[in-house]
Amino acid sequence: MNTIPLPQGNYRPAKRHADIIYTAGMTPRREGVLIQHGPVANDVPLSEYREAVMLACANAIAAAHSLLMPDEIVADVLSMTVFIASRSDFTAHAQLADYASDYLLERYGSAGIGARAAVGVISLPGSSPVEIQLVVAAGKASP
């Protein structure tokens, strides 16, 4: 499990209300350091961003897991927003976001696939190429 990324400002990595956990937007930071900088370039194969997208998603999952009780699991991924720093002529947002969806599908099966938005933006914190925010439902672990 990834360690919970330290906030880069005045916010919490995740917040829980009842059984719903909302994560802050998470960038691909490992031990506080971005592993890749953006924006996503049209002339670079999308596979070059795979690790960054998956790490941002793993960081969001780590933030969500930090609010689970010992007998709970992530029962359902309700929503994922994938922000992609890109130029106006970039059009492969959905394909890049699929790396995060694939990560969640592999980890949680069909419960890992929820609603999703892939959004192009001009810049992200720290010049990150991607930022991911999740909404998940907590549930009891099977005995």
The answer to whether 52 touches 88, Cβ cutoff 8 Å, is: no
Q: What is the pLDDT of residue 130?
A: 98
Mean pLDDT (the chain, rounded): 95
Q: pLDDT tens-digit profile of 97-123?
A: 999 999 999 999 999 999 999 999 999
Q: Any idea where the domains of the chain sit in the sequence? A: 14-140
Is pLDDT at 2 greater than 80 in this prediction?
no
- Please tell me whether the peptide bond between 28 and the residue prior to it is cis, using omega within 30 degrees of 0: no
Superfamily designation of domain 14-140: RutC-like (3.30.1330.40)
More confident residue, 133 or 6: 133
Q: pLDDT tens-digit profile of 22-44?
A: 999 999 999 999 999 989 999 99
